[in-house]
Chains A and B, each alone.
Chain A
Amino acid sequence: MTFLEYKVTWTPTGPVKLLYFNWALAVLLAAVASYGFVMLYSVAGGDLSRWAEPQMKRFAVGFVAMIGIGLVPIWFWRNVSALAYFLSLALLVGVELFGSTGMGAQRWIDLGPIRLQPSELAKITLIMMLAAYYDWLDIDKVSRPLWVAVPVVLILLPTALTVIQPDLGTAILLMAGGAVMMWLAGVHILYFVVVGLAGAGAVAAVFLSRGTPWQLLKDYQYRRIDTFLDPSSDPLGAGYHITQSKIALGSGGWTGRGFMEGTQSRLNFLPEKQTDFIFTTLAEEFGFIGAGSLLLLYVGIIVLCVISASRNPSRYGALLTLGIAATFFFFFAVNMSMVMGLAPVVGVPLPLVSYGGSAMLILMIGFGLVQSAHVHRPRSK
C-alpha cells in the first residue's frame, strides 16, 4: 500500500453518530408501523388494548433496539456474526426439542415475557453470517466450487431445521435470503441456473411424491397449493381464505369502505385478520389509495437501503444492508402476493404491520444493523 493509494477515511464517533443515522429510513419504518397500529385498532373492532397497544409498545422497544444496535460499530457486528449464526442454529434445535406448539407447528421458545421464534432470528443471523463469510473470502475464490459449497451448507442448516418445524414459509424466505446474498457476493451466474433447474426438479418431486409413503409435504400444504392453483374449486373449504381475501381486497375500490367499515373483516370472513391477512383489511377499508401508499412506503424502504449500500465501501456493510432489505422485501412481497391470490397461502406476516412480537423485533434488529452499517461506513474526508 503506497501513500498515494491511501485514502483518508473516517467514521463518526460518540453521540455525533446520531446525526449520521439514516433518519429517512427510520421515518419510513415508523410510518409503516403506524399503518399497522391503525389497522390493528380497526380489526379489533375499535379496541385499542387488544392488538394495537401491545404492537405500539413492541415497536417502541424495537425502535430503541434499532438505535442501540445502530450506535454499535459495524465491525463488532461483523465479528459476532458467526457466533450469532450458530447461536440461532442452537435455538432452532432447542425449539425442536423443547418448543411450544402453536398453529400446528413448533415455532417458539417461551422466554417468559417474550416468545422467541428462532426461525425469525435465523433470517437475520444467516444474512450476517453470509455477509461476514464473503467479507472474509478472497473475491477471486467466490465462484470456486468448494467456496460455494460452504455458504450452501450455511443456508441449508437453518432451512432444514425450519422445514421440520414445519414452517414452509420461513424456510423459503431463508433460502431466498441466502441465495440473494450469494448473488450479491458475485457467485457465478451458472450456479444459479443449475440450482434453478434443480429446484424445478425438486418441485416436480414434491408433486410426484404426493400420496406416496415418502410424501415430502404435509397434506394441508398440498391442499394449499391445490387451492392456490384453483381457489374456486373449494370456495368454502381450503380455498376459502384466498377467495374471501380477494373479495375483501377487491371490494375496497379507490378509497375503500372507510375506517372500521370493512364488512369482510368486520364479519369474520377473513381468516387471521390481525396477522397474515391484515393487508386485506387495509385494502378493504382504505382502498387502493391506502394499500398502494403502503406499498410505496415499502418500496421507499428498499430504495433507501439500496442507496445506502451502494455508497458503502465496506463489503460487509453493503452485503448486510442489501441482504436485510431483500429479506424485508420477501416478507411483504410474499404476503401481498398471497392475499392477492398470486401465491399460495404460506404463513408470512406483513412486515411491521401484522400483529406479532417476534417478527417486529427481528426486523427492527435487522434495520439496526442497516443503521450501523450506514453510520459506520468509511467516509471520505
Chain B
Amino acid sequence: MRRAPADSERSQKLVTRRGLLLGGAQLAFAGVLGARLHYMQVDQAETYRLLADKNRINIRLLPPARGLIHDRKGVLLAGNEQNYRIVMVRENADDPEAVLERLAQLIELSPEARADALAEMKRRSPFVPVTIADRVSWEEVAAVAVNLPVLPGVTPEVGLSRFYPLGRDFAHVVGYVGPVSDYDLKRIDDPDPLLQIPRFQIGKTGVEAHYEPQLRGHAGTLRVEVNAVGRVMRELDRKEGEPGAELQLTVNHALQNFCEARLAGESAAAVVLDPRNGDILAMASSPSFDPNKFVRGISSKDFKALLDDPYRPLPNKASQGLYPPGSTVKMVTALAALEAGLVAPDETVTCNGYVEVSNRRFHCWKRGGHGKVDLVRSLRESCDVYYYEVSQKVGIEKIADMARRLGLGEAHDVGLGNVARGVVPSREWKRRVRGADWLIGDTLNAAIGQGYVLASPLQLAVMTARIATGNVVTPRLVRAIDGVEQPARSDRPLELDPDNLAVVRQGMFEVVNAPHGTAGASRVVADGIRMAGKTGTSQVRNITAAERARGVTSNEDLPWERRDHALFVAYAPHDNPEVAVAVVVEHGGGGSHTAAPVARDVLLAALYDGVPPLSAYPPSQRETIRHRFEGLDLRPALAPSQGRGQA
C-alpha cells in the first residue's frame, strides 16, 4: 500500500514513542521483579532456608524398650518379647485386594480384618505401612517370608511388646500395659511425644502404671529426609532411645505363686510382709486373670466375663479391697487402752454375753458369755464384751489415734496406683462424712472392728508387722530401680511401752498356742517357730432380733454373698518376727476356720521359702495338709534371669 512519506514518518514516530514507553514500563516491571527477587533471596534468605530445612527433615520416634521388672530373686516378671507383624504398603501392591486374598491363605486373617486393612490403606497415603496382622507366629512369618515374591507390598516386621511370663500370678501387683487411650491422654499431662505413637503401650494398672515414667524410657529419634508427600528419601541420622529403668520388686515369685494357688477358688486376698524392713514378699488377690490378654487386646467377651464374675477378678483386693476388720483390730483397742493407762493388763471384765448401752444390747459372739476376762484372755478368746467395756473408758479418739499409728486409715505408698485409704472413724470423721454426731454405740462397734471401720489386707498386714516389731514398719514393694536400692524405712520405733506390746503379743500368741485360743487348730509346731495371730470375722449383714431369738443362722446356711468375711492376721516366729501376714477370705465364714489355715500355710511358705514341710504342722493334721498341698497348682521355682535378655 502506498502511503505519504509524512504519514510514514508520523507513524514511525508514534510507534517509536509508544514503543519506548512500553519498553520503559517493561524495564520498570523487570526492576520490580528483580527487587522482589533480591528481597526474598537475600534479605529473607535466613527465614526461607529455615523453612526449607523444616520441610525436608522429619523426625521419627523410635520407641524405647520398656524397663524390665524382676522379683527379689531376679526372676523376670515383666519383659519384652519380639513380636512379628505383617505390614503392607499400598503403593507397592498392584492390587491390594488380591494380595490380601493370597495372604489370607497363609495366615489367619478374617474377612473383617481384611476389610479393615483395606479401608485403612485407602484412608492413608499410599506409601504408609499399614499393619495387617499383629502378633503372628514365627511359622506364619516364615510362610509369608518365603511367599514374598507373590505378595507385593507385604513385609514382615519385628517389634517389642510386653510379656508377663508368670501370667496370672502378678496380674494385680505388676499390672499390665495397654495402648494409650484418648482418656489417658486427657487424664495425664505428659508432653512425651511417644504417647502420640499409635498403639504405643503404657502401664494401665499396678506397678506398670505407677512407675510408668521410669519404665517407659526415652524415645530415640530417627531423622529422615522426606519429600513433599512425606515419603522417606533417606535416613539422616539415628539416635537410639534409652530403655526404661529396670525395676526389682520385693516380692518373691515362688511365694506369690504359692499364695495364688492356696487362695484359688476363693474370693480372697493375702499380703505377706517382712516386718524387719517392710518388704512385701507377696500380695495376692484371688481370683486373678491373665494380664497378657490385656496386652494383646482383650476380646470384649473375655472382658465382660471378668467384669461379670461375682468374685471380681480385676481389682487388687489386697490393696484396694476394704473390709470391716472385725476382731483383728482388738489389738488396737487394747493398745489404746493400755497406753492411755486406763486399763491394766490384769484388770478383768465380766462377760455375760452382752452389754446394754443406751438401751441397746451389744452382744458377744459367745452367747453364753466368757465370764471373767482379762486382756490376754480377751484376745485369746476374742471376747467382744471386754472391748465394749474398755472402749467406753478409752473413747473413740484414742482408739482412732492408735489405729492410725498402727497404719490403718493410711494409703500406704507402695508403688501401686490404687491403694485404698480405708476408714478410721472418729467424731470429726462422722460429722464430716455422715453429717451426724458420734454415738457411744459407734465406739463399741469400732472397738471390735465393725461399724464404720474399714481396712485393706495390706493395712492389716502393716498393723500386724508394727505390733510384732514395735517399729513403724513401712511397706515397700520396689526394692531397686535400675540397681539403686530404694530406702527401707521400717526401723523407726512406734514409741509404745514395750510392756504393753508384750501383753498384746502374749494375747496373740495364745490365740494360736493356748487352750481355748480361737485359732488353736492352726498352730505351728516346727522347732523354734511358733505363730502368733488374731482371728477376725466381719459381718456383712445385720443380725436381726428374730434371728438372734431363734439362734443365729450358721454361715453355711446362708447364700455365699451374705456370709461373713473371714480374716486372720499373724506373724512368726512369735519371739523374733520374720514374716507378718494378713489374709481375708471374702464370705469365708469364720476367721479361725477359713482364714487362719491359709495364713499359716502362707506364713510357713515364706519362712521356709518353698512349700512348708509337714513337720511344721501338728501330727494329726499332716495327712490333710499333705493332701491339700498335692492339690495345689504350683509352678516349679524359676531360676533368676539377669540382664536385659528377652523373656
How many Å lie between the Cα of A251 and that of B444 in the bound state? 84
Give the residues from 197 to 241 in chain B that come closer than 8 angstroms, CB to CB, to chain A: 225-229, 233
Let me know if B34 is at the binding interface, CB within 8 A.
yes
Count class of interface residues, chain B = 35 or more
Contact present for B1 and A295 (CB under 8 Å):
no
- The answer to whether A303 and B41 touch (CB under 8 A), given A253-B49, A269-B55, is no
Let me know if A116 is at the binding interface, CB within 8 A.
no
Let me know if A299 is at the binding interface, CB within 8 A.
yes
Let me know if A263 is at the binding interface, CB within 8 A.
yes
Contact present for A319 and B15 (CB under 8 Å):
yes
- The answer to whether A295 and B34 touch (CB under 8 A), given A139-B10, A268-B227, A315-B11, is yes
Contact present for A299 and B27 (CB under 8 Å):
yes
Contacts of A250 on B, CB cut-off 8 Å? Answer: 40-41, 44-45, 47-49, 51-52
Report the nearest B residue to A240, measured CB to CB.
Answer: B228
Contacts of A325 on B, CB cut-off 8 Å? Answer: 23, 26
Interface CB pairs A-B, < 8 A, 16 = A5-B5, A184-B15, A185-B15, A186-B11, A244-B228, A247-B51, A250-B44, A251-B45, A264-B56, A267-B225, A269-B55, A270-B228, A302-B30, A303-B23, A309-B19, A318-B19
Let me know if A337 is at the binding interface, CB within 8 A.
yes
How many Å lie between the Cα of A127 and that of B30 in the bound state? 22
Contact present for A7 and B22 (CB under 8 Å):
no
Let me know if A147 is at the binding interface, CB within 8 A.
no
Contacts of B26 on A, CB cut-off 8 Å? Answer: 299, 302, 325-326, 329, 333
Instruction: Give 1 or 0 for each of A235-267: 1 = CB within 8 Å of chain B CB.
Output: 000001000101111111110000000011001
Give the residues from 254 to 299 in chain A that come closer than 8 angstroms, CB to CB, to chain B: 254, 263-264, 267-270, 283, 287-288, 291-292, 295, 298-299
Q: Give min CB distance, A56 to chain B, whole Å.
A: 27
How many Å lie between the Cα of A263 and that of B50 in the bound state? 12
Give the residues from 1 to 45 in chain B that come closer than 8 angstroms, CB to CB, to chain A: 1, 4-5, 7-8, 10-12, 14-16, 18-20, 22-23, 26-27, 29-30, 33-34, 36-38, 40-42, 44-45
How many Å lie between the Cα of A309 and that of B12 in the bound state? 9
Contacts of A292 on B, CB cut-off 8 Å? Answer: 34, 37-38
Contact present for A326 and B228 (CB under 8 Å):
no
Q: Give min CB distance, A265 to chain B, whole Å.
A: 10
- The answer to whether A288 and B228 touch (CB under 8 A), given A5-B5, A251-B45, A318-B19, is no
- The answer to whether A295 and B33 touch (CB under 8 A), given A5-B5, A264-B55, is yes
Interface SS majority for chain A: helix
Contact present for B12 and A267 (CB under 8 Å):
no
How many Å lie between the Cα of A295 and that of B226 in the bound state? 32
Q: Give min CB distance, A180 to chain B, whole Å.
A: 7
Give the residues from 342 to 358 in chain A that come closer than 8 angstroms, CB to CB, to chain B: 342
Contact present for A267 and B16 (CB under 8 Å):
no
How many Å lie between the Cα of A180 and that of B36 in the bound state? 25
Contacts of B11 on A, CB cut-off 8 Å? Answer: 139, 186, 315
Report the nearest B residue to A140, measured CB to CB.
Answer: B7
Q: Top 3 nearest A-B pairs by Cβ distance?
A: A250-B48, A306-B23, A251-B52
Instruction: Give 1 or 0 for each of A99-114: 1 = CB within 8 Å of chain B CB.
Output: 0000000000000000
Let me know if A336 is at the binding interface, CB within 8 A.
yes
How many Å lie between the Cα of A138 and that of B53 in the bound state? 62
Contacts of B23 on A, CB cut-off 8 Å? Answer: 302-303, 306, 322, 325
Instruction: Give 1 or 0 for each of A305-345: 1 = CB within 8 Å of chain B CB.
Output: 01001101101001100100110010001001100101000
B42 contact from A269, A288, A322, A329, Cβ within 8 A: A288
Q: Give min CB distance, A252 to chain B, whole Å.
A: 5
Report the nearest B residue to A299, measured CB to CB.
Answer: B30
Contact present for A340 and B36 (CB under 8 Å):
yes
Give the residues from 123 to 141 in chain A that come closer than 8 angstroms, CB to CB, to chain B: 135-136, 139
How many Å lie between the Cα of A336 and that of B32 in the bound state? 11
Report the nearest B residue to A267, measured CB to CB.
Answer: B227
Give the residues from 1 to 47 in chain A that come closer than 8 angstroms, CB to CB, to chain B: 1, 5, 7
Let me know if A183 is at the binding interface, CB within 8 A.
yes
Contact present for A340 and B45 (CB under 8 Å):
no
Q: Give min CB distance, A271 to chain B, whole Å.
A: 8
Contact present for B30 and A251 (CB under 8 Å):
no
Quick one: which of A283, A337, A340 has the most chain B CB within 10 A? Answer: A340
Contact present for B48 and A322 (CB under 8 Å):
no
Contact present for A309 and B16 (CB under 8 Å):
yes
Contacts of B4 on A, CB cut-off 8 Å? Answer: 1
B22 contact from A246, A270, A298, A322, Cβ within 8 A: A322
How many Å lie between the Cα of A264 and that of B38 in the bound state? 19
Contact present for B19 and A306 (CB under 8 Å):
yes
Contacts of B49 on A, CB cut-off 8 Å? Answer: 250-251, 253
A264 contact from B8, B27, B29, B52, Cβ within 8 A: B52
How many Å lie between the Cα of A268 and that of B33 in the bound state? 25
Report the nearest B residue to A2, measured CB to CB.
Answer: B5
Contact present for B30 and A249 (CB under 8 Å):
no
Contacts of A288 on B, CB cut-off 8 Å? Answer: 37-38, 41-42
- The answer to whether A313 and B233 touch (CB under 8 A), given A250-B41, A267-B227, A295-B30, is no
How many Å lie between the Cα of A131 and that of B557 in the bound state? 117
In addition to A269-B228, A315-B11, 7 A-B residue pairs with Cβ atoms within 8 Å of each other are A183-B22, A185-B15, A244-B228, A246-B48, A251-B51, A254-B41, A313-B8
Contact present for B45 and A180 (CB under 8 Å):
no
How many Å lie between the Cα of A250 and that of B48 in the bound state? 5
How many Å lie between the Cα of A244 and that of B55 in the bound state? 9
A269 contact from B15, B22, B56, Cβ within 8 A: B56
Contact present for B12 and A315 (CB under 8 Å):
yes
Q: Give min CB distance, A269 to chain B, whole Å.
A: 4
- The answer to whether A1 and B5 touch (CB under 8 A), given A302-B26, A306-B19, A315-B15, is yes
Contacts of B30 on A, CB cut-off 8 Å? Answer: 295, 298-299, 302, 333
Contact present for B10 and A333 (CB under 8 Å):
no
Q: Give min CB distance, B606 to chain A, whole Å.
A: 63
Q: Give min CB distance, B590 to chain A, whole Å.
A: 72
- The answer to whether A267 and B18 touch (CB under 8 A), given A7-B5, A253-B49, is no
Instruction: Give 1 or 0 for each of A170-200: 1 = CB within 8 Å of chain B CB.
Output: 0000000000100111100000000000000
Contacts of A309 on B, CB cut-off 8 Å? Answer: 15-16, 19
Report the nearest B residue to A322, measured CB to CB.
Answer: B19
Report the nearest B residue to A294, measured CB to CB.
Answer: B37
How many Å lie between the Cα of A313 and that of B233 in the bound state? 60
Give the residues from 77 to 94 in chain A that come closer than 8 angstroms, CB to CB, to chain B: none
Quick one: which of B1, B49, B225 has the most chain A CB within 10 A? Answer: B49
How many Å lie between the Cα of A313 and that of B10 in the bound state? 10
Q: Give min CB distance, B21 to chain A, whole Å.
A: 9
- The answer to whether A186 and B37 touch (CB under 8 A), given A1-B5, A268-B228, A288-B42, is no
How many Å lie between the Cα of A283 and that of B44 in the bound state? 13
Contact present for B51 and A340 (CB under 8 Å):
no
Q: Give min CB distance, B232 to chain A, whole Å.
A: 10
Contacts of B228 on A, CB cut-off 8 Å? Answer: 240, 244, 267-270
How many Å lie between the Cα of A302 and that of B31 in the bound state? 13
Q: Give min CB distance, B47 to chain A, whole Å.
A: 7
Contacts of A247 on B, CB cut-off 8 Å? Answer: 48, 51-52, 55
Report the nearest B residue to A337, measured CB to CB.
Answer: B33
